[in-house]
Amino acid sequence: MAVTAVAQLAADQRTYFSKKLLKQAKYKTVLDQFAYVEKIPAANSKTISFTQYADLAPAVTPLTEGTPPTDTALTTTPITATIDQLGAYVTLTDLAELTPAHPVTTKTLELLGTQAARTYDRVINSVIVAGTSVIYPGAIASRATIAGANVLTFAEVKKAVALLRNNGAVEFDDGKFVLVVDPSVEQDLMSDTNFANTVYRQNQPTKENENYKGRITSFAGVTVVTTNNIPTITAGVAVHTSYVFGQDAFAVSDLQTLTNYTQKAGGITDPLEQRMTMGWKVGFKAVLLNNSFMVRLESSSAY
């Protein structure tokens, strides 16, 4: 018996494309909002220099009557940063723009925007992760000895707040420091009874820093912000880095503002108008200003 099945009609089969585009992963980029921002005007070099004055020691020695004390010298330290230029682009042919079932140019712009934001935040993280003030969970003394059970707890956050206040770090406008964690560490903290009880006691909703991207809550001197754009560090286990910041702990300096570029088809190198490009470019640099105004918290995670 001659049976006509799908295989015999392959030449007349079409693939059905859903009109709905799949959602891309969304990344919360938050670090730039806690930086001191300084824009370099055009025609003023690629390098910016910040000046840090050392504190004067307390003058606790009683004066000798009629005799002036030894004068005190000021000490300054320059902190310099040279701008890096970053960028990326996508080339689409005319047929690639015309034939897909979905609006490819719109999707490309969305993907490029996400890429630019992730890049900006990752570059900032690559600088601040080198800060010298570090707190580890419990009795752990180094990154190499962090084990799977060494998760971040309320106790380490309190240590960080005390350290910053003892160092004279300045809180943000709401009178709190900022704690930045990734989603895994966020859940570790929620498993800490002390943290959970503190959060649950906040019966009244608050509008403090509601404009912070990624804000979760405020407690014990910190505003908690979450981001999924801080990479873990491989050191036996996956080490999660969290940060507690005061004002002016680090800076971001812009020479070129983040800008999108769309070049339509045409030009000498494209005589038949077969290609268009879409991309972004930025010129900036992140730099640590004061290690005493930030603490890095390193831990494992149960999540």
Tokens of 212: 């912070």
Distance (Å, whole) CA 294 – CA 246: 6
Nearest Cα neighbor of 302 from 106, 183, 151 is: 151
Tens-place pLDDT, residues 79-122: 888 888 888 988 888 776 666 656 788 888 888 888 888 898 99
Q: Residue 96's pLDDT is what? A: 67
DSSP 65-100: TTBPPPP----EEEEEEE-EEEEEEEEEEHHHHHSS
Tokens of 126: 């690559």
Strands 294-299 and 222-226: unpaired
Q: Residue 145's pLDDT is what? A: 93
Q: Residue 168's pLDDT is what? A: 93
Q: Residue 298's pLDDT is what? A: 97
Q: Residue 18's pLDDT is what? A: 46
Q: At residue 46, what are phi and psi to the nearest 5 degrees?
A: -95, -10
Distance (Å, whole) CA 86 – CA 83: 10
- Where the chain has pLDDT below 50, the residues are 4, 8-9, 16-18, 20-22, 203-205
Q: Residue 32's pLDDT is what? A: 87
DSSP class of residue 238 equals E
Distance (Å, whole) CA 276 – CA 264: 5
Q: How many CB atoms lie within 10 A of CB 127?
A: 18
pTM of the predicted structure, to 2 decimals: 0.80
Q: Residue 102's pLDDT is what? A: 62
